[in-house]
Amino acid sequence: MRPSFIFATLITILFFLSLIKSIKSVQEEEQYQNDQESDRVFILPGQPKGPSLSHFSGYITVNRENGRALFYWFFEAQTEPFKRPLLLWLNGGPGCSSIGYGAAVELGPLRVKRYGTELEFNRYAWNKEANLLFLESPVGVGFSYTNTSSDLDKLEDGFVAEDAYSFLLNWLRRFPQYQAHDFYISGESYAGHYVPQLAELVYDRNKDRKNYPYINLKGFIVGNPETNDYYDSKGLLEYAWSHTVVSDRVYRLVNRVCDFRLLNWTNECNNAMNMVFDQYKVIDIYNIYAPKCNLDQVSSSTYETDAKSSSLRRLRIYSGYDPCFSNYAEEYLNKPDVQKSLHAHVGGKNNGRWQVCNDSILNTYNFTVSSVLSIYSKLVKAGLRIWLYSGDTDGRVPVIGTRYCVEALGLPLKSQWQPWYHNNQVGGRFVEYQGLTMVTVRGAGHLVPLSKPAEALVLINTFLMGQQLPKH
Ligand SMILES: *[C@@H]1O[C@H](CO)[C@@H](O)[C@H](O)[C@H]1NC(C)=O
Ligand SMILES: *[C@@H]1O[C@H](CO)[C@@H](O)[C@H](O)[C@H]1NC(C)=O
Ligand SMILES: *[C@@H]1O[C@H](CO)[C@@H](O)[C@H](O)[C@H]1NC(C)=O
Ligand SMILES: *[C@@H]1O[C@H](CO)[C@@H](O)[C@H](O)[C@H]1NC(C)=O
């Protein structure tokens, strides 16, 4: 055989090989697109007639071997979805659901009404500004599950971030039309850990384009975020004292017996802090001037210390809990016809009951990270857009602690602490540093979009546009 013949044959074979490969990948893409359409949500029970919304929900597998799948609910932007950024929202806990809080009572376009029988349209929904993605994370929360129960003993920040990252990659394969959109991550409370950690993972892997697809991450925003245990605990105590929740005596006692720099509080400190939390039992710690919900609470251990380790571990209570609203959300999301419309199942795994916060996750979660401030320093340097906001009537992750955290970063000041306005009233204050903005929302509790929906919409819009909050 002549060399040129061999060469031609080789080229032909290569050509057919690449053809087969591209047909295969086209087929794969088509499969993903089909999955997308089968996740479409049509009319939900109790949904208002208008306006019409384009939304999807379902499961994304994050680990094939162990059978882990995370549940999402996605709302296209109300106008021009093809132009607007993609925004992921995460709630905290750990163990609380972004569907039950974020979507159903805070910033989603369909909020659960009182008594949980109907939905109402939320005029201040954040999908006015962005394509809005809610994720129930980690496995064990809400409708998200694992087929390998030992996974549930391994939950800690690193595990959560890895699964959320896999979720993102696979979700973007199912919704490839969003792959090139600007992408932002948002969340509140314990998501003060999840959000920067996920951003860091995306940022690091974006540099390794050989092994990982690129995600067009532009920044993140967190509300009343748990950021640094020491500053957050110090802030919690000082807030309780300065807002007349506890006496001078209790304040002095805690200051004397507690060292918040320790990972595990001493018995003495736990007892003293219980005096603080006792005062918060009779009001709503998440919104100290709001009326307290007097319905029976669904989750029992909200203010209790984990029984088996009460003396050793630090006191843990949910971040992100409004008992009345969660009752309605639980009522609604446990309806079989609602679950069917959302392509969700709670089947065998948890006695068929969906819960807004899962106590057993809070109690078994391995708290391995006491501060995420170093991630801030790294990602500020990387040039991501980073905002923190804080509802100033939250006693759980109060604005005082967040101020300490921001101060500790030592960033150069860009503009002074000053008021921002909405409807000719002060909406809160803001301060700008090189690479980071901090905003307060006046009169808002832990769940800012629930307390101050109009102000929260101004806030997210301003963040996404990369602008400055209105100064008059
Ligand atoms: C979990 O197990 C069920 C029952 O075998 C199966 O149908 C499902 O696909 C599994 N989930 C995942 C994510 O593999
Ligand atoms: C804190 O308490 C946990 C749980 O009881 C224990 O496993 C851990 O070793 C303790 N850590 C320190 C630093 O004492
Ligand atoms: C809560 O989490 C535990 C694991 O910590 C899991 O076994 C259980 O099924 C979950 N419960 C609900 C109601 O989702
Ligand atoms: C929690 O995580 C730490 C650090 O990864 C590990 O050393 C420890 O064994 C874990 N604890 C539990 C109870 O799994």
H/E segment holding residue 294: none
Q: What is the pLDDT of residue 394?
A: 96
pLDDT over 70 (residue 187): yes
Q: What is the pLDDT of residue 14?
A: 57
Residue 351 lies in a domain: no
DSSP secondary structure, 175-189, as one string: SGGGTTS-EEEEEET
Map tokens 């819960």 to a residue. 355
* Ligand 2 binding pocket includes 311 (Cβ within 6 Å): no
Q: What is the pLDDT of residue 398?
A: 97
| Amino acid at residue number 102 | G
H/E segment holding residue 343: none
Phi, psi of 459 (to 5 degrees): -60, -50
The catalytic position among 233, 394, 422, 451 is 394
Residue 17 lies in a domain: yes
Q: What is the pLDDT of residue 94?
A: 94
The model's confidence at residue 167, banded by pLDDT at 50, 70 and 90, is: very high
Q: How far is the CA of 150 from the centre of ligand 4 (A)?
A: 14
Say how many domains are in the chain: 1
Range of the domain at 15: 3-38
Site residues for ligand 3, CB cut-off 6 Å: 140, 152, 349-350, 353, 355, 358, 360-361, 364
Residue 136 lies in a domain: no
pLDDT over 50 (residue 309): no
The model's confidence at residue 20, banded by pLDDT at 50, 70 and 90, is: low
Q: What is the pLDDT of residue 346?
A: 77
Residue 238 lies in a domain: no
In the chain, % of residues over pLDDT 90:
78
Residue 394 annotated among the catalytic residues of the structure = yes
Looking at residue 357, the DSSP 8-state letter turns out to be B
Q: What is the CA radius of gyration of the chain?
A: 24
Q: Whose CA is nearest to atom 6 of ligand 3?
A: 140
Q: What is the pLDDT of residue 433?
A: 98
- The atom number, within ligand 2, closest to the CA of 313 reads 2
Q: How far is the CA of 151 from the centre of ligand 1 (A)?
A: 14
Q: Which ligand is nearest to the CA of 66?
A: 1
Looking at residue 352, the DSSP 8-state letter turns out to be T
**pLDDT: which is higher, 326 or 205:** 205
Residue 11 lies in a domain: yes
CA torsion sign for 172, 175, 179, 183 is: negative
Residue 432 lies in a domain: no
pLDDT digits (tens, 9 = 90+) for 57-77: 999 999 999 999 999 999 999
Confirm if 316 and 287 have CB atoms less than 8 A apart. Answer: no
Residue 26 lies in a domain: yes
Residue 345 annotated among the catalytic residues of the structure = no
Q: Whose CA is nearest to atom 4 of ligand 2?
A: 313
Residue 189 annotated among the catalytic residues of the structure = yes
Nearest to 82, CA basis, from 178, 156, 164, 11: 178
Number of C-beta neighbours around residue 457 at 10 A: 20
* Ligand 2 binding pocket includes 263 (Cβ within 6 Å): yes
Q: How far is the CA of 313 from the centre of ligand 2 (A)?
A: 6
Average confidence (pLDDT) over 433-449: 96
**Contacts (Cβ under 8 Å, ≥6 apart) of 181:** 84, 85, 86, 131, 216
The catalytic position among 98, 137, 144, 189 is 189
Alpha-carbon gap, residue 190 to 339, rounded angstroms: 26
The model's confidence at residue 299, banded by pLDDT at 50, 70 and 90, is: very low
* Ligand 2 binding pocket includes 309 (Cβ within 6 Å): yes
241, β-bridge pairs: none
Alpha-carbon gap, residue 317 to 307, rounded angstroms: 12
Phi, psi of 433 (to 5 degrees): -115, 170
pLDDT digits (tens, 9 = 90+) for 418-434: 999 999 999 999 999 99
pLDDT over 80 (residue 295): no
The model's confidence at residue 294, banded by pLDDT at 50, 70 and 90, is: confident
The model's confidence at residue 345, banded by pLDDT at 50, 70 and 90, is: confident
- Name the E strands within 28-85: 40-41, 55-63, 68-75
- The atom number, within ligand 1, closest to the CA of 59 reads 13
Q: How far is the CA of 356 from the centre of ligand 3 (A)?
A: 11
Q: What is the pLDDT of residue 327?
A: 84
The model's confidence at residue 137, banded by pLDDT at 50, 70 and 90, is: very high
Residue 379 lies in a domain: no
Confirm if 315 and 274 have CB atoms less than 8 A apart. Answer: yes
Q: What is the pLDDT of residue 21?
A: 57
Confirm if 100 and 330 have CB atoms less than 8 A apart. Answer: yes
Map tokens 């040039």 to a residue. 383
The model's confidence at residue 1, banded by pLDDT at 50, 70 and 90, is: low
